[in-house]
Amino acid sequence: MKRDFGPRKTANLSKSIQQQLNKYAFAASAAGVGTLALAAPAAGKIVYTKAHHVIGVNQIFYLDLNHDGVSDFTFINQSYCTGACFASLWVGHYSANGNEIRGGGNHFAFALRTGVRIGSKEHFSSNRLMAMAVEVEGEDFEGPWTNNGKAVKDRYLGLKFNIDKKIHFGWARLNVVFNGYNGFIATLTGYAYETIPNKSIIAGQTKGPDISVEEPDAALIMPTPERATLGALAMGSPGLSIWRREESAGGQGR
């Protein structure tokens, strides 16, 4: 049988069939695009927030690190005299959400320098003492944030916290000044976190892939400071039991 290699006649498709083919082509194209989108790696970013908030004496401040309306860390600043004078600055989170602060095995929160890595290989715990001063027969200072009574400027708390049950790392930058037994004055000047779970962040790092810089929202991240109640201030009382004369230079930065 001899084959005919000549040009074939063009078949005219009905309008309904043509419409069906167009639908199939569109669906296939959309599926391909969707597959590509699913295959693309998730883009992470560092979210940095500028701040200037003074945490005064006998005040509590709640830090919402990722701006979701939920407090991630609590600062308690207290000072009182009952025979001896006592001043302390604490940071922690008094719930079972797993949020923690980088420090050593002596209850103190490290005052990290710029450039220190904050990640899963470091030691964290839930409640940390930043600074303590006790006056009995002279002044005694404990904690990396006291600097023997001198000002501490531009140091960082290493933070570990949960977003949707996944671990993220961040930092908070503070200045701390000892104002005699009027207590400590802490000023929060900025904070940041890494959006990729379990990815470390560098203290002071504000830039990364797809960087997002946010200005402070006074209604969200700078709530009106609350006067500390006796019950809340009592959270700092463990400082009296852990206070001891030991060098705290190990937490001054690494």
Q: Reply yes or no on whether the pLDDT at 249 is more than 80.
A: no
Q: CA of 159: how far to CAs of 7, 44, 169, 233, 246, in Å? A: 74, 18, 6, 22, 25
Q: What pLDDT is stored for residue 197 in this prediction? A: 96
For 217-239, what is each residue's pLDDT tens digit? 332 333 333 444 433 444 444 44
For tokens 């001198």, the residue is 150
Q: CA of 197: how far to CAs of 59, 77, 119, 244, in Å? A: 32, 31, 10, 37
Confidence bin at 96 (pLDDT 50/70/90):
low
Q: What pLDDT is stored for residue 61 in this prediction? A: 96
Question: How many beta carbons lie within 10 A of that of residue 116, not counting itself?
Answer: 18
Q: What pLDDT is stored for residue 8 in this prediction? A: 43
Coil, helix or strand for 16? helix
Q: What is the CA radius of gyration of the chain?
A: 28
Complete DSSP assignment for 25-81: HHHHHHHHHHHHHHHSPPPP-EEEEEEEEEE-TTEEEEE-TTSSSS--EEEEEEEEE
Q: What pLDDT is stored for residue 107 in this prediction? A: 85
Confidence bin at 97 (pLDDT 50/70/90):
confident
Rounded distance between C-alpha atoms, residue 66 and residue 74, angstroms? 14
Report whether 219 contacts 69 (CB < 8 A). no
Rounded distance between C-alpha atoms, residue 113 and residue 97, angstroms? 27
| DSSP code of residue 229 | P
For 161-206, what is each residue's pLDDT tens digit? 999 999 999 999 999 999 877 889 999 999 999 999 999 999 999 9
Rounded distance between C-alpha atoms, residue 113 and residue 203, angstroms? 7
